[in-house]
Structure 1
Amino acid sequence: MAAGGFFGRALLVDVAGGTASAVPYELDERVLRGYLGGVGLGTWLLHRLAPAGVDPLAPAAPLAFVFSSLVGTPLTTSAKFAVVAKSPLTGLLTDALASSQFAIAGKLTGHDAIVIRGRAEELSVLLIDGDGVRLEPAPELSGLPAAEAERAARERFGRTWRTAAIGPAGERQVRYATISHDGRHAGRGGLGAVMGAKNLKAVLVRAGTKVSVADQAGVLAAARDLRRRSFGPATAKYRELGTLANLLAFNAVSTLPTRNFTAATFEGAPRLAAEELHELRGVARNSCASCSIGCEHIYSRKGGGKQRMEYENVFALGPLCGVSDPDEVFAASARCDELGIDTISAGGTIAWAMECVERGLLDEPWLKFGDGAALLRALNAIGERSPGLGELLAEGSRRAAGVVGHASIDFAPQVKGLELPGYEPRSLQAMALGLAVNARGADHNRSGAYEADLSGELDRLAGGAAHVAAAVDTEDRAAVMDSMILCKFLRGVFDDPFAEWAGLLALVTGWQVDAAELRGTARRIVRAKRAFNLREGATAADDTLPPRMLETPLELGSGRRAALDATRLRAMVAGYYAARGLDPEGRVVAADLPDLLLDEVEDRE
């Protein structure tokens, strides 16, 4: 019998041909305890089920929807799931988290994960509930935005189904296409392209069972306490202004990437700031499923309509591309939602192309920094994979730079092929390390080291040993939160995070787990991610930043500069390897391989 909160099995679904076949895949309790669920369990499943060297868009490449023990409990922010696959953008492991009722319904199909392989003969939808699986042709959904496809699918099959869908970009296998559900996105790494390569427009799930917890009364009491704390000062910023509150703050400390990372302050930032938009455009605040924080802020759009805006999409489609008109940024963000593409990778790739035009490397004179109409035109070209520029930019900045040449890779804003988020590495040097070594590539959600940079306790302009410790600690915390799964906006409410998380797990699962065990679990998950990437060809040479970040100092004004050279970064990377127990080439040492539990269970297909 599985621990509380788990079923002890995954469902392997093959959509090859015109039907779906499924077999259960047993999950040993040691694996569930060792990886927790979510991103952790998804990483373990990819090790076991993804053939070494598989093309991410091949039928044999698995796409995993993974749940956790907390999903379906009354614990705030726990209605989340992970999508895990080999990324068509990076060629390495990628994972993305999302919040919605899909998480609860997906788990209550009776599985801790749903893993999809194969390719349908025609565009189809996959339905999974307590009665089994079936594949239904859905050519009428072709070309629809994900939100419209969700509505159409639920109208056809019934309102009791919960739907995750791709937009037109996923169908066309844009390498940074997203998977969407209830207006939210499993956004980074091209998971929508993986789903599109399987000829699946949508996955529909419907609850068919229940799952028990070890201590129902204890879980209810913990849920009441956590809900109370979620209304406190640690989450006030998210409730009052949302993540967009970061824009002016980052601009003030010269860490707002602007015009493809050629500057770190943006003169148009006040027009895009949450403070300004809240007064002029704010119309509503919303919450994810089972969430008491309510970080989602909705703004009115010119000409009618509403748009949810976050810091990352405003940064990527605004300052990074030099666009300061909020209406143009809103329109670009809405178009990304309709097409189903990651705003960070879209903005980063377009900003790189704008600089290529400035340098005479691309003959697209209309594509200029600061031109919102050009930004929208480029997004349309990407979503349509139109010949020429659209096909080029749909590949992401690293692949596009490989085509353009002329050392354009030096200013492509990516790590391991994933475009950089809205944090300037030269002025946030703990974050610089976190971005360089992260398994997913340039990512702010799997390494929150910027918190240490901005805490005032470190010299954020001079990375060293303390920055290494901060990067390791924040990466460990993210590994646990992303696997349990809890929203990171809750992180500030925990005084003793690992001990408190262990307490929540004990109430749900019945395990006698403590803080020390969870710290070991975090290290296991991080090492398992790295081991997968090493298997797929990654090397220590990939743990770096673009040459621009290491060769060109950042002007901060008043004669001040921020510089991060390759020697300093290499020293921090070496310190990270040592802290992680890796060898000098960043490899998992043989003595630690048994801890990954990859031979714990025989394949049961």
Structure 2
Amino acid sequence: MAPGGFFGRALIVEISGRGTTSSPLELDDRVLRAYLGGVGLGTWLMHRLAPPGVDPLAPEAPLAFVFSSLVGTPLTTSAKFAVVAKSPLTGLLTDALASSQFAIAGKLTGHDALVLRGRADELSVLLIDGDGARLEPAPELAGLSADQAEKAARARYGRGWRTAAIGPAGERGVRYATVSHDGRHAGRGGLGAVLGAKNVKAVLVRAATKVAVADQAAVLAAARDLRQRSFGPATAKYRELGTLANLLAFNAVNTLPTRNFTAATFEAAPRLAAEELHEMRTVARNSCASCTIGCEHIYSRKGGGSQRMEYENVFALGPLCGVSEPDDVFAASAKCDELGLDTISAGGTIAWAMECAERGLIDAPWLRFGDGAALLRALDAIGARTPGLGELLAQGSRRAAAVVGQGSIDFAPQVKGLELPGYEPRTLQSMALGLAVNARGADHNRSGAYEADLSGELDRLDGGAAHVAAAIGTEDRAAVMDSMILCKFLRGVFTDPFTDWAALLASVTGWDIDAEELHTAARRIVRAKRAFNLREGATAADDTLPPRMLETPLELTSGRQATLTAERLNTMVSGYYAARGLDPSGRVVQKDLADLLIDVL
């Protein structure tokens, strides 16, 4: 019998021609307890189901929608799911989280994960409910945005079905295409391209059953408590201004990446800041499914319409590309949503191309920093994969730099092929380590070490042992939250996070679990991600940052310089390996490989 909150099985859907075959994969209680669900369970599934060395866009490459024990409970922010696969952008493990009713309906098909393999003969939709999976041709959806495809599916199949879909970029194999649903996105790593390679435009799920929790009264009490805490000061910033509130704060402390990381302050930042936009434009607030925080802020657009804006898409399509006109940034963000593009990778790749054009390395004299029209033109080219520049930039900055050569890889803003988020590593040196060693690549959600840098408790300009400990701590906390799954914006409301999380899991699952066991699970999940990447050819040489970050000091507004040398980063990486129990080359040792339970069914 499965623990509370779980069904104890995944559904493996094999897509072939115009049909499917489905089979259950029973999930041992030891695996569920060891990996918790979500990203952790998805990582285990990739070890079991992804053939070593598989091309991420090959039919046999698995794509998993993974749920957790908390999905369907009244716990705030619990309506989340993970999408996990081998990334076509990095060639390594990738996972992305998203919130919507798709999570609840997908879980209540009666499965803890839905795993897709194979390829349809023509563009199709995949429907999964209590009766299993079926494939239906949908050529009429070709070229539609994910939102348009979702509306078409709802009209065709009814409101009881919940949809995750791809846009044109996913159909065309852009390596950083997203999977979208309810206006939200599983964004990073190219998961939309993986779904597109299977000739699946959309996955539709319909609830068919219920799942029991171990202690309903305890879950309801915990939900009331967490709801109340979610209205406290720890989440106030996100309720009032959204994540865009970070823009001016980061600009003030020289950590807002600007013009492809050549600067860390943007002179026009106030024009794009939440504080100014809040006064200038009508603002609506919205919440994810089953969320009480309400961090989503929607701004009116010139000429009509509205757009959801967050820090990362504004940073990537604004300061990183030198674009200061709010309407251009709004339009670029809307275009990314329409095409189904990860805004961070799109902005990072275009910023790299802008620098290449200004250096005369590529023939695109129109592509210049600060030109909003050029930004929009480049996005159109990427979404259509137009011959020449569009095809080049659809590969992401690392692959594009390999084509262009001429030293352009030195300023490609990526780690392991994934473009850097909106945090300047030279002025946030705990974060620098987190970005360098993270399994997904340059990522701020799986390693939020910037929290330690900005806490004032260590010198963010001088990385050392304290920064190693901080990076590991944030990585462990993220591993648990991403597997349970809970929103990161709740992290400040827990008094003693691992103890509090263990209590939540115990009430749902019935496990006699404590903080120490959760710490162990976090370390296991981090090792399992690394072990998958090592299997796929990653080495210690990948745990680094672009040469620009390690060779060029950053001029600060205070008159000081921020310097992060290769020697300092390598010392921190070695300290990270030692603290993680890895060997000096960053490999998982044999006894810990056995602890991953890869062979358990």
TM (normalized to structure 1)? 0.99
1:375 and 2:342 aligned: no
Number of the residue aligned with 1:586: 586
Deviations 1:133-171 (A, max 9, x none): 110000000000000000001111111100000000000
Contact 2:242/2:310 (8 A) holds in 1: yes
Structure 2 vs 1, CA of residues 43 and 268 (structure 1 numbering), >3 Å: closer, same or farther?
A: same
Cα distance in 2 for residues equivalent to 1:106 and 1:583: 40
Number of the residue aligned with 1:29: 29
Letter in 1 for 2:192: G
1:528 and 2:517 aligned: no
Deviations 1:487-526 (A, max 9, x none): 0000000010000000000000000000000000000000
Letter in 1 for 2:257: P
- Note the residue ranges of structure 1 that are not aligned, 5 or more in a row: none
1:572 and 2:566 aligned: no
Number of the residue aligned with 2:393: 393
Shift of 1:50: 0.1
Contact 2:38/2:484 (8 A) holds in 1: yes
1:480 and 2:470 aligned: no
Deviations 1:461-498 (A, max 9, x none): 00000000000000000000000000000000001000
Cα distance in 1 for residues equivalent to 2:295 and 2:173: 31
Number of the residue aligned with 1:297: 297
Contact 2:254/2:557 (8 A) holds in 1: no
1:428 and 2:428 aligned: yes
Deviations 1:241-288 (A, max 9, x none): 000000000000000000000000000100000000111114200000
Number of the residue aligned with 1:170: 170
> What's the secondary structure of 2:134's corresponding residue?
strand
Cα distance in 2 for residues equivalent to 1:61 and 1:109: 23
1:542 and 2:521 aligned: no
* Equivalent runs, 1:296-315 vs 2, <5 Å: 296-315=296-315
Cα distance in 1 for residues equivalent to 2:305 and 2:560: 44
Cα distance in 1 for residues equivalent to 2:510 and 2:74: 17
Deviations 1:328-378 (A, max 9, x none): 000000000000000000000000000001111011000000000000000
Number of the residue aligned with 2:440: 440
Cα distance in 1 for residues equivalent to 2:300 and 2:420: 28
Contact 1:56/1:85 (8 A) holds in 2: yes
Cα distance in 1 for residues equivalent to 2:70 and 2:164: 20
Letter in 1 for 2:191: L
Number of the residue aligned with 2:147: 147
Letter in 2 for 1:574: S
Cα distance in 2 for residues equivalent to 1:73 and 1:578: 39
Cα distance in 1 for residues equivalent to 2:367 and 2:559: 32
- Note the residue ranges of structure 2 that are not aligned, 5 or more in a row: none
Number of the residue aligned with 1:127: 127
Cα distance in 2 for residues equivalent to 1:558 and 1:459: 16
Shift of 1:17: 1.1
* Equivalent runs, 1:479-518 vs 2, <5 Å: 479-518=479-518
* Equivalent runs, 1:203-222 vs 2, <5 Å: 203-222=203-222
> What's the secondary structure of 2:12's corresponding residue?
strand
Deviations 1:547-592 (A, max 9, x none): 0000000000343000000000000000000010000000000111
1:66 and 2:53 aligned: no
Shift of 1:16: 1.3
Cα distance in 1 for residues equivalent to 2:394 and 2:412: 14
* Equivalent runs, 1:253-402 vs 2, <5 Å: 253-402=253-402
| Total equivalences in the alignment | 601
> What's the secondary structure of 1:25's corresponding residue?
strand
* Equivalent runs, 1:400-411 vs 2, <5 Å: 400-411=400-411
Number of the residue aligned with 1:187: 187
Number of the residue aligned with 1:39: 39
Cα distance in 1 for residues equivalent to 2:542 and 2:449: 19
Number of the residue aligned with 1:82: 82
Cα distance in 1 for residues equivalent to 2:141 and 2:257: 38
Runs of 4+ in 1 over 6 A off after TM superposition: none
Letter in 1 for 2:289: A
> What's the secondary structure of 1:118's corresponding residue?
strand
How high is the sequence identity, in percent, across the aligned residues? 85
Cα distance in 1 for residues equivalent to 2:132 and 2:572: 50
Cα distance in 1 for residues equivalent to 2:128 and 2:597: 29
Contact 1:282/1:297 (8 A) holds in 2: no
Cα distance in 2 for residues equivalent to 1:585 and 1:349: 30
Shift of 1:460: 0.1
Letter in 2 for 1:283: V
Shift of 1:600: 1.7
Deviations 1:517-547 (A, max 9, x none): 0000000000000000000000000000000
> What's the secondary structure of 1:600's corresponding residue?
coil
Cα distance in 2 for residues equivalent to 1:73 and 1:559: 52
> What's the secondary structure of 1:557's corresponding residue?
coil
Number of the residue aligned with 1:469: 469
Letter in 1 for 2:344: I
